[in-house]
Structure 1
Amino acid sequence: MKWIERLSSFAGKYFALLVIAAAITAFLVPEIFIPINAYVPILLGVVMLGMGMTLKPVDFKLVATRPLPVLLGLVAQFTIMPFTAFMIAYLLQLPPELAAGLVLLGSVPGGTASNVMVYLAKGDLPLSITMTSMSTLLAPIATPALLYLLAGQWLPVNFVDMFTMIVQVIVIPVIAGLLINRFLPKVAAKTSVAMPLVSVLAILAILSAVVAANTGSLIQAGLISFVAVMLHNAAGLALGFIAALAFRLPASQRRAISIEVGMQNSGLGVALATAHFTPLAAIPSVLAAAWHNISGPILATYWSKRPLPPEATSPLNKKRAS
């Protein structure tokens, strides 16, 4: 099993490079990866099952014990990102499919990679995990509602169908993973070693499939989409930090909220765009999967070298590890 641990560690460390390599390969030989598109929802469900298996009851304790940072982070998540995406789409005059895809990227919950970045940045890890979990559980309502409000002018949004899909591929797998971790701890312990690697492979397969199906679109709209994604990510990181600063939260929580707001669940964005919009609408989420895993480590490395005051450390960090 140690070789699986080493592979998992390697995949996590070089995830951004693996994403870029997979995207280039899919772009050059798309015919190999196009059939994977039929399995994108299943692959995403596998990723979310792995996330659920890492959750513990203490991850939800902050909602009751320290509600302010959690609520602030969730409000920032579902306001800053979708409305910033809307404004960027207008300012750059993106085509309808790309505009809707960028708003979709801004409307999905936080991604699991953000937890790793918060840990590396010496941020409040329990807060980060709680925000990811809560935003994921809120996604069936929040994501379709935001899309209907902001992206309906570009592409039709079917609230019920999107709600149903998010429940099926996100909420149910997360709850299933949480129940496995709670009632079948031995099974969870045995599979926990391999799940990070399985999740990385599933995400790479999803992204490769979408790139393969959109080679022509990437040539035409790749540059402007990448600029839009970079601006969107930078705005989320900066405005999330400013929001936490405005409420005088400690440094560790400011770092956590900044990263949580700025990094999205791009895999969900890809799956929803492919299923409910057009393949071109998935491009922002595809590009975000690579860029977020470049900007995130850069920011985490910068913050990791700036020590926190002793009182900034979350009291739940030790509890979660036990």
Structure 2
Amino acid sequence: MGKKMLFWPSKNPVLSIPIALCLGFAAGLWVDTRFLSDFILICTFLMIYPTMIGLNLKESFDFSHAKVVGVSLVINFLLIPLLAWGLGKAFLVSDPTMMAGLAIAGLLPTSGMTISWTMMFKGNVPAAVKMTALSLVIGSLLAPFYLLLMVGKYVHVDLMKTFITIAIVVFLPLILGHLTFKQILSHYGREHFQKVIKPYLPAVSFWAMLAVIFSSISMKSKAVLAQPQLIGGILIALVVFYIINFTLSTLATRLFFNYSDGVALIYGTVMRNLSIALGLAITAFGPQAALVVTLAFILQVQAAAWFGKLAERYKLIGRKQTDSILAEEN
């Protein structure tokens, strides 16, 4: 029974994520959950750490996977910002602050969930690690200038805080995961790791993801209900944003990549760093910009789960995907 409960969320993300969203939303309406903000970074670390156990440390820092990482950078820093700007002009031009919120969401790619989703759907985790680290650094450097061009306001980004975040959610789990893996090999051997320990890692990571989702949405539920008249237009813009984003990334995988690289590319471009984006939105543009980012968070995690399941069922990802490849990966 305990094992079944441990594995159920990761095996049923299209159900477990809405449950976490609904519970978090309800909790936020009845209880002041701002204290949970102190635990989000810890839960993010716990979400990433299991995905790093068994990862090739050298491969995460070399120049392999240059093609898929390069394409992700083009999508993240050229196509997606243009998409966010265009949708803002089309749907949110009446309120520049909401347009700014969409722009911020589009300018900061990848999050800790990029790595977790890539592992969950058997993608190229080392490539996802590179995308996450590079995109966060480049996004933090470019975002102030992109915002100046898109909404006419220069917004300072705390680079030191960004680098600390990268260290905690990427590099620290990577190093500890490598050390943990070496200890497992010395005590139990590779075969025991592959057959007994490794199957539990995605399940543990997913529980930590649900904790992040619950905590994040609970702190934002009152803000969502406070401005119901604005939600319709924002949701339309965001739904179109994510549909086009998924479509662009999926087409790129069909043209250029195999399944493993394709999974990394999709979750390295569709997943936006909405935690950093929310902080920028509320401090630089106010609550209406923050509302856009909040609603993006709700859509993003649900869309990631649904797309992964649909992609598995209909073989949407990768030009070389075949039944034999999937059988080997599974």
Residue range with higher mean Cα deviation, 111-120 or 195-204: 111-120
Residue matched to 1:95:
95
Ranges in structure 1 where 5+ consecutive residues have no aligned partner = none
What are the Cα deviations for residues 166-218 of structure 1, in whole angstroms up to 9, with x where unaligned? 2223333321111211223469x79956453233213311221123345323x
Q: Contact 1:235 / 1:262 at 8 angstroms: preserved in 2?
A: no
Ranges in structure 2 where 5+ consecutive residues have no aligned partner = 185-196
Residue matched to 1:241:
250
Q: Distance in 1 between matches of 2:98 and 2:205?
A: 32
Residue range with higher mean Cα deviation, 190-199 or 256-265: 190-199
In the alignment, structure 1 residue 292 sits paired with structure 2 residue 290: no
1:110-259 equivalences under 5 Å are: 110-113=110-113, 125-126=123-124, 129-152=125-148, 153=151, 155-159=153-157, 161=158, 163-185=159-181, 194-217=204-227, 219-245=228-254, 248-250=256-258, 253-254=261-262, 256-259=264-267
Taking a change above 3 Å as real, the CA distance of residues 89 and 15 of structure 1, as seen in their structure-2 partners, is farther
What are the Cα deviations for residues 95-131 of structure 1, in whole angstroms up to 9, with x where unaligned? 233222212211222245556666777xx711xx344
- How far the C-alpha of 1:233 sits from its partner, in A, is 0.6
- How far the C-alpha of 1:157 sits from its partner, in A, is 0.8
Residue range with higher mean Cα deviation, 66-75 or 106-115: 106-115
Taking only aligned residues, the RMSD between alpha carbons, in angstroms, comes to: 4.0
What are the Cα deviations for residues 255-285 of structure 1, in whole angstroms up to 9, with x where unaligned? 6534542232334433443455533323233
Residue matched to 2:40:
43
Tell me the amino acid that sits aligned with residue 144 of structure 1. S
In the alignment, structure 1 residue 18 sits paired with structure 2 residue 15: no
Q: Between the two proteins, what is the percent identity of the paired residues?
A: 16
SS in 2 for 1:150: helix
- How far the C-alpha of 1:226 sits from its partner, in A, is 1.0
Q: Distance in 2 between matches of 1:240 and 1:9?
A: 23
SS in 1 for 2:67: helix
Q: Contact 1:102 / 1:285 at 8 angstroms: preserved in 2?
A: yes
Taking a change above 3 Å as real, the CA distance of residues 206 and 119 of structure 1, as seen in their structure-2 partners, is closer
- TM-score of the aligned structures, taking structure 1 as reference length: 0.76
Residue matched to 2:192:
none
What are the Cα deviations for residues 144-185 of structure 1, in whole angstroms up to 9, with x where unaligned? 3332123233554113x2x22222233333211112112234
Residue matched to 1:302:
310
Residue matched to 1:82:
81
SS in 1 for 2:63: helix
Residue range with higher mean Cα deviation, 224-233 or 268-277: 268-277
Q: Contact 2:118 / 2:263 at 8 angstroms: preserved in 1?
A: yes
- TM-score of the aligned structures, taking structure 2 as reference length: 0.74
1:277-288 equivalences under 5 Å are: 277-288=285-296
- Count of aligned residue pairs for this structure pair: 308
Q: Contact 1:139 / 1:166 at 8 angstroms: preserved in 2?
A: no
What are the Cα deviations for residues 258-314 of structure 1, in whole angstroms up to 9, with x where unaligned? 45422323344334434555333232332223223333344333332335899547x
Residue range with higher mean Cα deviation, 235-244 or 193-202: 193-202
What are the Cα deviations for residues 205-244 of structure 1, in whole angstroms up to 9, with x where unaligned? 1221123345323x13211111111111111112223344
Q: Contact 1:100 / 1:281 at 8 angstroms: preserved in 2?
A: yes
Taking a change above 3 Å as real, the CA distance of residues 244 and 10 of structure 1, as seen in their structure-2 partners, is closer
SS in 2 for 1:141: helix
